[in-house]
C-alpha cells in the first residue's frame, strides 16, 4: 500500500511541477570545467522566464550527451519562489585533447603508422580541431576543423584539408595492378541544425586525384598515369534520435549522403554517388546492447577499374582484407551484440559477437550482381572493446572475422572507436 501511495504522490508532484503555470527562474550549469556555461546555455532550449517543460529539459540533456565534450549529463529542478523554479544541468565532462597512434602492416608487409592529435572542445565551445600524419609506404597528412555551433545555435562550419597518398589496388579483366594514389583536397561545409533531430550539411570540395602505375597487370585501355582535377558537391541529411548512457546507445539514426563529382578526364568521368546508413540500437537489461547498421549505396554505373565503393576490413566487412574489390553499388548489414564483461570506475571491458554481410554491383554490371555468390561476403566474428569512460572516443577495439562465403578469408581488425 505504501508503494502505491508513493507512486501516486510522485505522479501528482511531477504533474504539478511541470504545470503550465510554472516558469524557469534561472538555468544553472554545474560540474563543467572546460566546457563554457555560456555555450551550454546558448545551445539549450530551456530559457529564463519560459514555461517549465520536462520534455524540453530532457531534450536538452540528450543534446548535451551527444557532445564529444560530455561524458554524461542529468538535471535537477528546485523551487525558487512562487511558481518559479531553478533548473540545474549537471555535467560530467570528457577529456577531449586526444592523441592517436595506429600501427599496422600493409599487404606488402610494409611497416605503417598514423599519429594524430585532436581537440574536440576547443575554447570550451565544442569546436573540433586536429589532424594526423600517416606513413604507409608514402607520407600523408590532414587537418580538420568543425564547429557546429560557430555562428548560432543552429548554424556552423567545417573545413577539411588532406594530402593523402596510398598504394591502391586497381581491378580489371580479372587481374590486379598496384598504383600510387594521391588525393589532395580542400572542403568547406555549412552545417545547419533544423531542429533537435534533423541536421543538414552542404558544401563543396575541390580535389586533385593522381594515379601512377607501380606494378602488376597492365592493359592498353587502362592508363598507367592519371592526374585529374575535380569539383565535388556534397549534401548530407541526418535524422538523429539516439540517446547515450556512457558506453550504451539506444534509438535510431539515419544519414543520407549525396555527392556529384565533375571531372576533366574520360577515364575518371563525372559521376554521382549516394548512400544511406540506417542505425538501430537497443539496450537489453543492464549490460547488453544490440547495434545495427544497414548501408545501401549506388553510383553512376561506369565500367571503370576506379569504382567508388570498396570491400574493405576497416569500412564494412571485418576480416575480408584491405580493399579486395570495388563496385558501383553496395548493400551491407553489420549487426553485433555488445556485452559489458567488466566495469569499474572509468574502465569498461566489453565483448561483442558480430556478423558483417554485404554484396556489391560490378562496374558496368546490373542489379543481378548483388545475388552472385562471388560478390557476397558473410563474416561472423568476435571482438573486444577496452573503454575509458571519461575520455572521448577512447575505445580500443579488436575484432576477428572469419568468412563463411565463397573464397572467404579471415583476419584481425584493430581500430579506435566502435566499428559503427
pLDDT in tens, 130-142: 999 998 889 999 9
* pLDDT of res. 8: 47
Are residue 70 and residue 144 in the same domain, yes or no? no
Q: What Å distances lie between residue 206 and 12, 146, 316, CA to CA?
A: 59, 18, 26
> What span, in angstroms and rounded, lies between the C-alpha atoms of 270 and 250?
39
Tens-place pLDDT, residues 308-363: 898 888 889 999 887 788 899 999 999 999 999 999 999 999 999 999 999 999 99
**CA-closest candidate to residue 188, choices 208, 205, 207:** 205
Per-range mean pLDDT, top range of 2-16, 151-165, 167-181? 151-165
Q: How far is CA 173 from the centre of its chain?
A: 35
Q: Pick from 62, 93, 124: which residue ends a domain? A: 93
HEC string for the chain: CHHHHHHHHHHHHHHHHCCCCCEEEEEEEECCCCCCHHHHHHHCCCCCCCECCHHHHHHHHHHHHHCCCEEEEEEEEEEEECCEEEEEEEEEECECEEEEEEEEECCCCCEEEEEEEEEEEECCCCEEEEEEEEEECEEEEEEEEEECCCCCCCEEEEEEEEEEEEEEEEEECCEEEEEEEEEEEEEEEEEEECCCCEEEEEEEEEEEEEEEEEEECCECCECCEEEEEEEEEEEEEEEEEEEEECCEEEEEEEEEEEEEECCCECCECCEEEEEEEEEEEEEECCCEEEEEEEEEEEECCCCCCCCCEEECCCCCCCCCCCCCEEECEEEEEEEEEEEEEEEECCEEEEEEEEEEEEEEECCCCCHHHHHCHHHEEEEEEEEEEEEECCECCCEEEEEEEECCCCCCCEEEEEEECCCC
Does the structure show a pLDDT above 60 at 5?
A: no
Q: Pick from 42, 58, 93: which residue ends a domain? A: 93
Average pLDDT, the chain: 90
Are residue 89 and residue 101 in the same domain, yes or no? no
Does the structure show a pLDDT above 50 at 9?
A: no
Are residue 49 and residue 107 in the same domain, yes or no? no
* pLDDT of res. 112: 76
> What span, in angstroms and rounded, lies between the C-alpha atoms of 362 and 358?
13
- What is the pLDDT averaged over residues 85-113? 81
Are residue 67 and residue 196 in the same domain, yes or no? no
Say which residue the cell 554490371 belongs to.
365
- What is the pLDDT averaged over residues 5-34? 73
Number of domains in the chain: 2
Identify any residues that bridge with 385 across adjacent strands, giving them in sequence order.
350, 397
Tens-place pLDDT, residues 205-248: 999 999 999 988 888 878 888 888 999 999 999 999 999 999 99
Are residue 113 and residue 32 in the same domain, yes or no? no
pTM as predicted = 0.82
* CATH code, 77: 3.10.20.310
Are residue 135 and residue 72 in the same domain, yes or no? no
Of 385 and 101, more confident:
385
Q: Pick from 93, 119, 147: which residue ends a domain? A: 93
Q: Which domain holds residue 390?
A: 97-416
* CATH code, 259: 2.40.160.50
Amino acid at each position: 500500500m505504501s508503494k502505491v501511495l508513493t507512486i501516486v504522490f510522485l505522479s501528482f508532484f511531477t504533474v504539478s511541477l511541470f504545470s503550465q503555470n510554472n516558469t524557469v527562474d534561472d538555468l544553472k550549469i554545474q560540474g563543467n570545467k572546460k566546457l563554457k556555461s555560456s555555450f551550454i546555455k546558448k545551445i539549450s532550449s530551456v530559457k529564463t522566464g519560459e514555461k517549465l517543460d520536462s520534455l524540453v529539459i530532457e531534450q536538452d540533456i540528450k543534446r548535451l550527451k551527444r557532445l564529444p565534450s560530455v561524458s554524461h549529463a542529468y538535471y535537477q529542478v528546485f523551487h525558487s519562489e512562487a511558481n518559479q523554479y531553478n533548473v540545474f544541468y549537471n555535467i560530467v565532462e570528457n577529456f577531449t585533447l586526444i592523441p592517436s597512434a595506429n600501427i599496422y602492416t600493409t599487404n606488402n608487409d610494409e611497416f605503417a603508422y598514423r599519429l594524430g592529435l585532436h581537440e574536440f572542445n576547443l575554447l570550451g565551445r565544442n569546436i573540433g580541431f586536429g589532424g594526423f600524419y600517416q606513413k604507409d609506404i608514402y607520407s600523408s597528412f590532414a587537418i580538420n576543423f568543425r564547429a557546429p555551433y560557430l555562428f548560432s545555435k543552429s548554424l556552423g562550419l567545417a573545413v577539411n584539408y588532406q594530402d593523402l597518398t596510398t598504394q591502391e589496388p586497381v581491378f580489371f579483366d580479372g587481374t590486379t595492378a598496384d598504383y600510387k594514389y594521391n588525393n589532395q583536397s580542400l572542403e568547406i561545409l555549412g552545417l545547419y541544425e533544423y531542429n533537435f533531430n534533423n541536421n543538414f550539411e552542404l558544401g563543396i570540395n575541390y580535389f586533385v586525384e593522381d594515379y601512377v602505375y607501380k606494378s602488376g597487370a597492365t592493359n592498353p585501355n587502362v592508363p598507367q598515369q592519371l592526374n585529374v582535377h575535380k569539383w565535388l558537391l556534397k549534401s548530407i541529411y541526418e535524422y538523429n534520435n539516439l540517446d547515450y548512457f556512457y558506453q550504451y546507445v539506444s534509438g535510431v539514426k539515419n544519414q543520407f549522403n549525396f555527392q556529384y563529382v565533375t571531372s576533366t578526364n574520360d577515364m575518371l568521368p563525372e559521376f554521382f554517388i549516394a548512400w544511406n546508413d540506417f542505425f538501430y540500437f537497443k539496450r537489453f537489461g543492464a549490460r547488453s546492447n544490440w547495434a545495427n547498421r544497414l548501408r545501401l549505396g549506388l553510383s553512376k554505373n561506369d565500367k571503370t577499374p576506379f569504382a567508388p565503393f570498396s570491400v574493405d576490413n576497416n569500412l564494412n566487412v571485418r576480416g575480408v582484407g584491405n580493399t579486395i574489390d570495388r563496385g558501383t553499388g553496395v548493400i551491407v548489414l553489420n549487426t553485433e551484440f555488445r556485452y559489458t564483461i567488466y566495469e569499474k570506475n572509468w574502465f569498461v571491458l566489453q565483448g561483442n559477437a558480430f556478423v558483417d554481410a554485404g554484396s556489391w554491383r560490378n562496374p558496368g554490371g546490373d542489379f543481378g550482381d548483388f545475388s552472385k555468390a562471388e560478390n557476397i561476403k558473410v563474416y561472423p566474428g568476435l571482438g573486444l572493446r577496452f573503454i575509458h569512460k571519461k575520455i572521448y572516443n577512447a575505445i580500443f577495439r579488436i575484432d576477428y572475422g572469419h568468412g563463411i562465403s565463397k573464397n572467404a578469408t579471415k583476419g584481425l581488425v584493430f581500430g579506435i572507436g566502435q566499428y559503427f
